[in-house]
Amino acid sequence: MENNKIAVGLDIGTTKIVAMIGRKNEYGKIEVVGIGKAKSLGVKRGVVSNITQTIQSIQQAVEEAESVSGLKIEDVIVGIAGQHIRSLHHSDYITRNTAEDVINEADIDNLVNQVHKLVMLPGEEIIHVLPQEYKVDSQADIKEPIGMYGGRLEANFHVVVGQVSSIRNIGRCVKSAGLGLSDITLEPLASASAVLSQEEKEAGVALIDIGGGTTDLAIFKDGIIRHTAVIPFGGNVITDDIKEGCSIIEKQAELLKIKFGSAWPGENKETEIVSIPGLRGREPKEITLKNLSKIIHARVQEIIEHVYLEIKNYGHETAKGKLIAGIVLTGGGAQLKHLRQLVEYITGMDARIGFPNEHLAGDSDEALSSPAYATAVGLLMVGLDKKIKVQDIKQVVEEVKNEPETISEVEPEPIIEKKLKPKKKSFFEKFTEGLKDFLDNAE
C-alpha cells in the first residue's frame, strides 16, 4: 500500500486519545485500516495539562494503530479544542493592480494572508481564516470569485483564534511522541465534515459535539461555517456530579452514567434501584435511578443552555439566520439516553444524533460509526483531502516538467509558480515550521 495515499487523524481528547489510519477506496469512501485508542490522562478540558502523560498516551494509541494496520505512522493531523478557542468576524479587501485580468487563486491567497497579519491579543494566534462571502467591486454575496473581473476584492472572514502556548504544547507532545505534525484543525470543523450532509449545511445546522472535557459547537448556514465556540463543560462534569451526589468513586460514577444514565428523569420509577459495592468491606450503596437521572438532567440542561445561548448569539432567531436543519448531536456524550428529546424540549429545534458512518466504506467495523469517533473520522478526512491536493500539485509539476521544450525557455517557470500557488503555505504550515525550529532549538 502506498504510504502517500494514507492519512492519520489523531484526536487528543480529554477522556481518550484516538489514532485512526485510513485511505480512500475507489468510490471515494474512507477505509479505516487501523485504529488505536488510549486513555487520556494528561488533558483537562481539551487543553494539555501534563506533557509526559499525553506523550505516553499518544504513543500507546499510535502503536496500537500501527500494529493493527501493519503500517508505520509518520505524520498526523491533530484536532484542537479547549476553552481558549474563540472566533471573530472580520472583513478585509485588496485592490488589484490589474483589473483586466480575472481573479485567480493568488488573489484570494493574498487576501487570506492579509487577514493572517491581524494583530491579536498577547499570547493568541490565528488557527483558521475561513472566507464567507466575497464582494467584487460593488457586487456582493459572491460565493466563488475566481474567474471574475474586478479591481477590488473584498470578503467577510470567520477567524478562529487560540492560545499560542496551548497550540505549542500539542505540537510538542506530537513531536516528542516521534511523529510529524502535518496540520492542526479545529475539532468542531473536523466533526462537522464527518457527520453533516451538504444539505444540512445549506439549510442551516448547529453541530454540538459533546466530548469528555468540552462541548464544541459549529454552526453552518448556506453551506458556509458561520460560528464556532468551545464550551468548557462535557461528559466529565456529569460524572463528577454523580460522584459527588452519590458519594461513590469516579470509576463507578462513569459506569453508572453509561449503563443506567438518562437525561430525562420522568421515566424512572422510584423503585428502580442500583446497588454499588462498598469500598474495602464497607456496606454496599443503594442508588435510585430516579436520583441518578435527576443529577444527570440538571447538568446536561446546563450544558445545552450554554450551547443554545451561543446559537442565539449567532442569530438563529432572525429570519436570515434560521437553522432549518436544527441540531446534530455527536461526540461520546451524545450516547446518553433521551438526550435528543431533552435538546428538542429545551431549544424547540429538531435534533438528531450524528454518526460518522456516511463517509466510511460499507464494510467498516460497526464500532467506528459510534458518535465518539466523529472527530477522529473527521480529522482523517481532512488529512486525506490534503494528501489528494498535494498529489494533484505534484502531478501538475510533473506535467509541466515533461512538456516539450518548443516554448521559449522562460515559459514553464510561471506555470509552475501559478499551479503551486493554491497550496500556498498556510499560516499554519509557517507556524508548524516555526514550531519545529523552536522545538529543535529547545532540545
Q: Within a domain: residue 137?
A: no
Using CA atoms, how far apart are residues 402 and 216, in angstroms rounded to an integer? 48
Q: Same structural domain for residues 362 and 437?
A: yes
> What is the per-residue pLDDT for 4?
64
Q: Within a domain: residue 131?
A: no
> What is the per-residue pLDDT for 17?
93
- Tell me the one-letter amino acid at 283: E
For the chain, what percent of residues have pLDDT higher than 70? 88
Q: Within a domain: residue 259?
A: yes
> What is the per-residue pLDDT for 366?
80
Q: Same structural domain for residues 364 and 419?
A: yes
Q: Within a domain: residue 347?
A: no
Q: Within a domain: residue 74?
A: yes
Which residue range is the domain that position 49 belongs to? 1-82+164-196+358-443
Using the structure block, give the residue that is written with the C-alpha cell 494514507: 6
Instruction: Tell me: pLDDT of 169 over 80.
Output: yes
For the chain, what percent of residues have pLDDT higher than 90? 48
Q: Within a domain: residue 330?
A: no
Other CB atoms within 10 A of residue 276 CB: 17
Q: Same structural domain for residues 369 and 442?
A: yes
Structure confidence at residue 244 as a pLDDT band (50, 70, 90):
very high
Using CA atoms, how far apart are residues 40 and 56, in angstroms rounded to an integer? 9
Other CB atoms within 10 A of residue 140 CB: 11
Other CB atoms within 10 A of residue 431 CB: 21
3-state SS track over 239-268: HHHHHHHHCCCHHHHHHHHHHHCECCHHHC
Q: Same structural domain for residues 284 and 391?
A: no
Q: Which residues contact 188 (CB under 8 A, 6 or more apart)?
A: 81, 207, 209, 216, 217, 218, 228, 230
118 or 389: which leads in pLDDT: 118
pLDDT in tens, 97-130: 887 888 889 899 999 999 998 888 899 999 999 9
Other CB atoms within 10 A of residue 294 CB: 14
Other CB atoms within 10 A of residue 38 CB: 19
Using CA atoms, how far apart are residues 257 and 243, in angstroms rounded to an integer? 10
> What is the per-residue pLDDT for 28?
84
Q: Same structural domain for residues 279 and 421?
A: no
- Considering 278, 299, 320, which residue would you say is the last residue of a domain? 299
> What is the per-residue pLDDT for 375?
93
Instruction: Tell me: pLDDT of 411 over 60.
Output: no
Q: Same structural domain for residues 278 and 383?
A: no
pLDDT in tens, 222-231: 999 999 988 9
- The distance of Cα 55 from the centroid of its chain, to the nearest Å, equals 20
Query: 97-107 burial string, b = 16+ CB within 10 Å, else e?
Result: eeeeeebeeeb
pLDDT in tens, 356-370: 888 888 777 888 889
Q: Same structural domain for residues 38 and 174?
A: yes
Beta strand pairing call for 16-24 and 7-12: antiparallel
- To the nearest 10°, the Cα dihedral for 425, 431, 435, 437? 50
CATH number, domain at 239?
3.30.420.40
The chain-wide mean pLDDT, for the chain, equals 86
pLDDT in tens, 32-56: 999 999 999 888 888 899 999 999 9
> What is the per-residue pLDDT for 429?
61
